[in-house]
Amino acid sequence: MSPRLSNLIVTCLFFTINLVVFGQEDIREGSLNETDTARLVQKKVAPFSWEEEWSIWCDSQTCVSSDTGLWNIMGEPDLELDTAVMKSRMAILDMSSELDLQWNSVAHKRVALYVSKRKRGLSTMLGRAPAFFPLFEEMLDRAELPLALKYLPIVESALNPEARSPAGARGLWQFMYYTAKAEGLRIDSYIDERKDPKRSTEAACNHLKKLYEIYDDWYLALAAYNAGGGNVNKAIRRSGGKTNYWEVRPFLPRETRNYVPNFLAVVYLMEYHAEYGIVPRNILPGYIEMDSVHVEGPLRFDQIAELTVLSESELAVLNPMFRQKIIPGPGEKWVVRIPNESVAVFIEREADMRLINPELTPEIQYEPEPIFYRVKSGDVLGTIAERHGVSVRKIKDWNGLNSSNIRIGQRLIIHGDPTKL
């Protein structure tokens, strides 16, 4: 055995041992439930391979590259952020985008933060991208919007359809209840289309287009997407009527000021991830690996799982808009996403699925998700009830009111009629 080959084997064994010793840290920011998604992560069953072991070790240690020719390179690359290099790279991005992607010092600081504190999270985003970016690009192109907006859900939800903000925004694009309803999304006890990748992306495109038509500045439009048009309008007034985002930015709410810089940092690092040692991890199946079947409910996820290779949790990951793991019905057909290889089996066995413990299928009774309404000056229960398509009596029952007296600022729980909201 040659000395070179001996050294290679020893090095490989070192890396293999380190796989066990070091392990992997938890993903704490915006992660999907890894137990639920584990079976959806692409895996290969193959004979033992040193290349495979190196790849796994390299992923866990955030190496510069997964190139198997770099057996002896360990540790972090030189991550000093060169301003001149960043300027030239962002100038290249700027030339191919409708957005202003020129370098600025604010975005530079956010890039530095992401490189030093968010590399593992960005690696996860790269792994999730194949499941969502083809859809985002298709929808954005159809709506004639900048394709770079496909990175916005990373800032909003970390590409997690189940993401929920403390304020109640949900889904990949983080729609609040009223905004979602205004864009035609359905939200009730069984369905939440804010969590459906396709429907929510269509709604986001419509909403973003409206905001751009109002402000004629993409970054003011993004600020309005995040903070609401009212807050952006106030900031514009306080700035003396400026119409450029960077001049208006100091007057925006504190929590919104870094929203656009964060977006720019994500765009830059997703485009130049390899240069900073950021590589995909936990890669989800690609969008083109999934197909859709139209199903009339009611049909439970456990009934589907009984006669296919899919588990209930896998079905829930692929179809997050079904809130109770049941396709509602009858009288309505819903799009259900499943892997390409499962389509034929599903169609062949669908009738048999419905015969599995049918007594466990509940009677479908739609009830809108409760919303919280803050009483304003001039409000009375009658007008509030009419606006939400419910009766005064129901508002009293939901809120334990003994009379029709309400006060400004009081918060009311309302299960509104979806057709009226």
3-state secondary structure of 8: helix
Any alpha helices (H) in 354-391, and if so which ranges? 381-388
Cβ neighbors of 37 (< 8 A, separation 6 or more) are 282, 284, 317
DSSP-H helix ranges across 23-161: 34-37, 50-61, 83-95, 105-117, 119-142, 152-157
Contact 56, 19 (CB under 8 A): yes
Question: Could you count the other beta carbons within 10 Å of the beta carbon of residue 164?
Answer: 14
- How many other CB atoms sit within 10 Å of the CB of residue 115? 19
Other CB atoms closer than 10 Å to residue 262's CB: what's the count? 19
From 156, 183, 193, 314, active-site residue: 156
Q: Which two tokens stand for residue 157?
A: 């939800």
DSSP conformation class of 320: T
CA gap 417, 360 in Å, rounded: 27
Picking from 325, 414, 323, the residue whose alpha carbon sits closest to that of residue 371 is: 414
User: Which tokens is 161 given?
Assistant: 């359809």
Instruction: Count how many Cα atoms sit within 13 Å of the Cα of residue 168 in the half-sphere of its side chain.
Output: 10
Q: Measuring CA to CA, which residue among 263, 257, 200 is closest to residue 227?
A: 257
Measure CA 324 to chain center. 20
Backbone angles phi, psi at 411, to 5 degrees: -100, 125
Whose CA is closest to 128, among 31, 255, 259, 24?
31
* Token pair belonging to 343: 């389509």
Q: Is 386 a catalytic residue?
A: no
Residue 329 burial class via C-beta count within 10 angstroms: exposed 0-12, middle 13-18, buried 19 and up: middle
Active site residues: 156
